């Protein structure tokens, strides 16, 4: 039987700050375990927390980027539970007065899995948010058979919890939501949102029902997933598992399950607690805050969102919708592209511009292909935008053909300290001396009368043959396009 799928996501995102949420310990990744701790993040008796204002401001900035409202007063609460990753046996979080309420995250078409983009059920969908609240992260647990290791370096790091309404209907929409949200968070510089470093983790709530008029089915939560592709696989499995149970009249129980990626299945961890099981109460150690002054402070920091950036690239640079979506998907890539193509920068206004489409094509097809091959991002690109711009200017000035530019780029990538023009000279890509190219063209026409006559009769394909003859005779390697145009002017 077919069932309606309802999915809600709880995304935990580490806020990009230098220190933890309630103490001055440094936030870090990959450092020696348990070296960034103090009485506050270790939960020692008598230790008192102090709010991290930067974390609060970046959470409010996130809310502004996704159209959230904020209550006039926001406060912190204690969520009580017993687990080794929180030694004080409660987590300082927010319950009834979170920093951000409502809002929504647009699902960008290019954020869906590649194999699903032609069958998007609801284009331009916006997933409603319930809330964004700010809390402290827990320690990192590593389970080794019959023992566990606890690293408290992460304990106390500022953590936003971004909670959706139950608006998602498939694993593919969940995939697109997470990628779209990741782009927005990175665009606003509120988080690096690197799932491999645990900066973005996700709990998935799934329920099935027969008809849209039926109440939502029992919620099954998949806990602490940290890979977007694994989340997609886990949702597909869980939908199939619940479908098979319901077809056999086995009711679902509200529960928490874990995803075993090696086995490709979810496994029961525990039946799910409700909010009252956590015995929430207002944190007595932290005063409530007024949000209005902080909102006014961060409002000017709201950046162009990816869809706004893409629309501007299409309008200002004449790139295709696909190119714009790729270039706007990473804020560092967008900055790089603008540095190559834009003339809006004061230092470039007096210089010839690179056509946006040509710059986009070279960045996406050549540069990004090389970076992907090396497994690095645009942040670590060895070729500066100024060097790439200089290379493309050689093409615009007719000194290099496109295939020659590719050869120069291959050398430039590994020798970024060199000037593109110098590399072109080393490879022999030099304009012919005045009159030399015309003489070579005349020589090729005189030496190949049959082919020249065929071109005059309309067989333009033979221009390539004559171009090749000129290139062979040239002492340097002139631009083949220039040679072809000279031949065309002589013969047609």
Per residue in 82-120, pLDDT (tens digit) is 888 888 889 999 999 999 999 999 999 999 999 999 999
What is the Cα–Cα distance from 288 to 21, expressed in whole angstroms? Answer: 15
Instruction: Tell me the pLDDT tens digit for each residue of 389-438.
Output: 999 999 988 888 888 899 999 999 999 999 999 999 899 887 666 566 77
- Per-residue model confidence (pLDDT) at position 352: 63
Over the chain, what is the mean pLDDT?
91
C-alpha to C-alpha distance for 420 and 408, rounded to whole angstroms: 7
Q: What is the pLDDT of residue 435?
A: 67
Output DSSP code: residue 276.
G
Under DSSP, the state recorded for 119 is G
User: Cβ(148)–Cβ(84) under 8 Å?
Assistant: yes
Other Cβ atoms less than 10 A from the Cβ of 484: the count is: 18
Question: For residue 441, what pLDDT is reported?
Answer: 81
Contacts of 471 (CB under 8 A, 6+ apart): 477, 478, 480, 483
**Range 136-157 average pLDDT:** 92
Mean pLDDT (whole number) for 274-295: 91
Mean pLDDT over 323-332 rounds to 94
pLDDT tier at 340, thresholds 50, 70, 90: very high
| Residue percentage of the chain with pLDDT more than 90 | 72
Q: pLDDT tens digits for 220-236? A: 999 878 899 999 999 99
Q: How far apart are alpha carbons 167 and 8 in whole angstroms?
A: 6
In angstroms, the CA 459 to CA 452 distance is 9
**Cβ(404)–Cβ(429) under 8 Å?**
yes
Per-residue pLDDT reduced to its tens digit, 235-271? 999 999 999 999 999 999 999 999 999 999 999 988 8
Q: Vertex 44, ends 41 and 45: CA angle to 5°?
A: 135
d(CA 342, CA 311): 15
Q: Which residue has the higher pLDDT, 438 or 175?
A: 175
Strands 158-164 and 4-14: antiparallel
Q: What is the pLDDT of residue 461?
A: 83
Q: What is the pLDDT of residue 431?
A: 67
pLDDT at residue 129 tops 70: yes
Contacts of 428 (CB under 8 A, 6+ apart): 476, 477
What average pLDDT score do residues 167-183 get?
Answer: 97
pLDDT for the residue 94: 97
Give residue 311's pLDDT: 95
Q: How far is CA 189 from the centre of its chain?
A: 12
pLDDT surpasses 80 at 349:
no
Per-residue pLDDT at 347: 42
| Structure-derived torsion over alpha carbons of residues 166, 167, 172, 178, reported in degrees to the nearest 10 | -80
pLDDT at 470: 73
User: Which sequence spans correspond to the domains of the chain?
Assistant: 4-298, 304-426, 436-491
Choice between 372 and 478, residue whose per-residue pLDDT is larger:
372
Whether the pLDDT of residue 346 is over 50: the answer is no
Taking 60 as the threshold, does the pLDDT of residue 348 lie above it?
no
387 vs 443, higher pLDDT? 387
pLDDT the model gives residue 398: 80
Which of the two residues, 440 and 383, has the higher pLDDT score?
383
Contact 340, 388 (CB under 8 A): yes
Instruction: Give the lowest-confidence range in 15-29, 279-293, 312-326, 444-458.
Output: 444-458
Specify the pLDDT at position 445: 85
Of the candidates 122, 132, 173, 214, the residue with the CA atom closest to the CA atom of residue 7? 173
- pLDDT at residue 127, rounded to an integer: 98
Which has the closest alpha carbon to 97: 131, 58, 66, 136? 131
Q: Which two tokens stand for residue 15?
A: 């806020």
Lowest-confidence region among 140-149, 347-356, 373-382, 435-444:
347-356
């Amino acid at each position: 039987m077919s069932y309606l799928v309802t999915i809600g996501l709880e995304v935990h995102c580490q806020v990009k700050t230098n220190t933890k949420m309630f103490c001055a310990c440094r936030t870090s990744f990959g450092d020696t375990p348990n070296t960034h701790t103090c009485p506050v993040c270790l939960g020692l008796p008598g230790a008192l927390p102090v709010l991290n204002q930067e974390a609060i401001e970046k959470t409010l900035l996130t809310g502004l980027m996704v159209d959230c409202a904020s209550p006039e007063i926001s406060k912190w609460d204690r969520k009580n539970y017993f687990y080794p990753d929180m030694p004080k046996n409660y987590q300082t979080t927010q319950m009834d007065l979170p920093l951000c309420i409502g809002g929504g995250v647009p699902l960008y078409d290019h954020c869906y899995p590649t194999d699903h983009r032609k069958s998007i059920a609801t284009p331009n969908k916006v997933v409603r948010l319930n809330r964004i609240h700010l809390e402290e992260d827990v320690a990192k647990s590593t389970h080794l058979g019959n023992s566990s290791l606890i690293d408290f370096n992460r304990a106390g790091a500022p953590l936003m919890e971004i909670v959706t309404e139950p608006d998602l209907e498939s694993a593919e929409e969940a995939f697109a939501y997470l990628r779209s949200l990741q782009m927005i968070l990175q665009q606003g510089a509120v988080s690096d949102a690197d799932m491999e470093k645990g900066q973005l983790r996700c709990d998935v709530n799934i329920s099935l029902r027969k008809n849209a008029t039926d109440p939502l089915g029992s919620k099954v939560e998949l806990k602490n997933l940290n890979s977007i592709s694994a989340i997609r696989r886990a949702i597909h499995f869980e939908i199939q598992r619940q479908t098979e149970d319901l077809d056999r009249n086995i009711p679902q129980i509200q529960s928490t399950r874990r995803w075993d990626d090696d086995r490709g299945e979810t496994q029961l961890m525990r039946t799910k607690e409700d909010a009252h099981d956590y015995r929430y109460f207002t944190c007595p150690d932290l005063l409530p805050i007024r949000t209005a002054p902080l909102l006014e402070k961060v409002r000017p920091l709201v950046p162009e969102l990816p869809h706004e950036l893409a629309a501007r690239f299409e309008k200002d640079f004449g790139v295709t919708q696909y190119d714009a979506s790729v270039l706007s998907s990473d804020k560092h890539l967008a900055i790089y592209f603008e540095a190559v193509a834009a003339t809006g920068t004061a230092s470039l206004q007096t210089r010839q511009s690179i056509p946006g489409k040509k710059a986009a094509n070279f960045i996406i097809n050549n540069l990004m292909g090389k970076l992907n091959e090396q497994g690095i991002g645009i942040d670590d690109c060895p070729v500066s935008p100024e060097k790439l711009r200089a290379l493309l200017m050689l093409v615009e000035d007719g000194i290099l053909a496109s295939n020659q530019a590719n050869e120069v780029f291959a050398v430039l990538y590994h020798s970024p300290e060199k000037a593109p023009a110098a590399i072109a000279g080393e490879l022999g890509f030099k304009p012919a001396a005045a009159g030399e190219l015309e003489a070579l063209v005349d020589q090729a026409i005189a030496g190949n009368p049959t082919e020249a006559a065929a071109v005059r009769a309309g067989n333009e394909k033979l221009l390539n043959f004559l171009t090749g003859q000129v290139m062979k005779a040239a002492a340097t390697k002139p631009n083949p396009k220039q040679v072809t145009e000279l031949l065309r002017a002589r013969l047609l």
